[in-house]
């Protein structure tokens, strides 16, 4: 709870920020890891809603260019900004490219992630740190770079991703669970700190998504998960993209500091 003694100081600061205006100009979204799968789906949905899209990938430029072309085919503007966001300097270059091209980044979607499987006693320090950098620190580095402009504009959205492995805990996924739990903590802190100036932060926890390859849904492990899901289906990138669009809409501004479970009703444990 806010200390009453601090309230006047907070409101003095608020007088320097603009009120949000969703209709002032076309807004721009940076989606990390958007060359395929969920990131690609988010790009499609936000482009259909009129957002400029910054497509990011770490290595497959051909895939990123393909998504940018798909965005332009929907009538949107797109920029490809390649870079490994798990490297601080590269992450900052991605933001710089987006700001120079579009003038602002109004939506940050921290989608890029790696999910290595390794027993806790066998994962080495370098591999552990790599997961922290991609799955956690990238969100910190990128948020620091986009927030000043969001604050000055009085509007912004930061959307990150957790996952069921972070909530339930799975053998061999300790590094990912730690990183994703930390992103949840970051999200709640950003929501509390920047909500008063029109910037919301939320986190999405997706269920099972087989990806862009339609044949992957025939994999026995996916068939098993499908049969266990109350909806008797697996998730699609459209499920995630629709939620991201809602959070970025005028009606989504009161959703802040939340973990949104998109998993078809699978029971999770905290």
In the numeric block, the tokens 């497959």 are attached to 60
In the numeric block, the tokens 């959205």 are attached to 157
Q: So what's the pLDDT on residue 263?
A: 84
Strand, helix or coil for residue 261: strand
Whether 93 is in a domain gets the answer yes
Whether 196 is in a domain gets the answer yes
Which positions ≥6 away from 231 have C-beta within 8 Å?
264, 265
- Give the number of other CB atoms < 10 A from CB of residue 244: 28
Instruction: Give residue-wise pLDDT tens across range 191-223.
Output: 999 999 999 999 999 877 776 566 666 777 767
Whether 58 is in a domain gets the answer yes
**Residues 49, 29: Cα–Cα separation, whole Å:** 11
* Domain ranges, residue 51: 27-262
End-to-end CA distance of the chain: 23
Q: In this structure, what CATH number is given to the domain that contains residue 254?
A: 3.40.50.720
Q: So what's the pLDDT on residue 12?
A: 39
Whether 234 is in a domain gets the answer yes
Pairing type for strands 156-161 and 107-110 reads parallel
Q: So what's the pLDDT on residue 267?
A: 64
Whether 226 is in a domain gets the answer yes
Whether 170 is in a domain gets the answer yes
CB-based contact 123:43 (threshold 8 Å): no
Question: Which ranges of the chain have pLDDT less than 50?
Answer: 1-24, 269-270
Instruction: Give residue-wise pLDDT tens across range 43-57.
Output: 999 999 999 999 999
**Residues 56, 63: Cα–Cα separation, whole Å:** 10
- Give the number of other CB atoms < 10 A from CB of residue 256: 19
Q: Which two tokens stand for residue 180?
A: 């994703």
What are the residues facing 250 on neighbouring strands?
Answer: none
User: 260, 249, 80, 241: which is closest to 157 by C-alpha?
Assistant: 249
Whether 12 is in a domain gets the answer no
Q: So what's the pLDDT on residue 22?
A: 45
DSSP state, 19?
Answer: P
Whether 20 is in a domain gets the answer no
Provide the Cα torsion 83, 86, 87, 89; round to 10°.
60
Give the global pTM: 0.87
Number of domains making up the chain: 1
**Residues 92, 89: Cα–Cα separation, whole Å:** 5
Q: Which two tokens stand for residue 88?
A: 């601080």
Q: So what's the pLDDT on residue 270?
A: 43
């Amino acid at each position: 709870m806010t200390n009453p003694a601090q309230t006047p100081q907070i409101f003095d600061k608020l007088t320097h920020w603009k009120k949000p205006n969703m209709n002032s100009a076309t807004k721009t979204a940076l989606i990390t890891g958007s060359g395929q799968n969920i990131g690609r789906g988010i790009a499609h949905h936000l482009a259909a809603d009129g957002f400029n899209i910054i497509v990011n990938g770490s290595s497959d430029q051909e895939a990123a260019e393909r998504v940018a072309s798909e965005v332009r085919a929907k009538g949107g503007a797109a920029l490809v900004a390649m870079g490994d966001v798990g490297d601080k300097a590269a992450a900052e270059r991605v933001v710089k490219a987006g700001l120079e091209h579009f003038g602002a980044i109004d939506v940050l979607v921290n989608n890029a992630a790696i999910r290595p499987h390794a027993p806790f006693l066998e994962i080495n320090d370098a591999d552990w740190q790599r997961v922290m950098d991609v799955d956690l620190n990238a969100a910190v580095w990128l948020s620091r770079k986009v927030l000043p402009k969001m604050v000055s504009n009085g509007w912004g959205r930061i959307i990150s991703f957790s996952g069921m492995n972070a909530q339930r805990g799975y053998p061999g996924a300790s590094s990912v669970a730690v990183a994703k739990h930390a992103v949840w903590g970051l999200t709640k802190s950003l929501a509390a700190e920047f909500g008063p100036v029109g910037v919301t932060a939320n986190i999405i926890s997706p269920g099972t998504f087989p990806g862009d390859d339609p044949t992957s849904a025939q994999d026995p492990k996916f068939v098993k998960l499908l049969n266990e899901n109350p909806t008797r289906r697996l998730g699609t990138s459209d499920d995630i993209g629709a939620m991201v669009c809602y959070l970025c809409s005028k009606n989504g501004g009161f959703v802040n500091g939340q973990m949104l479970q998109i998993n078809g009703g699978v029971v999770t444990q905290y």
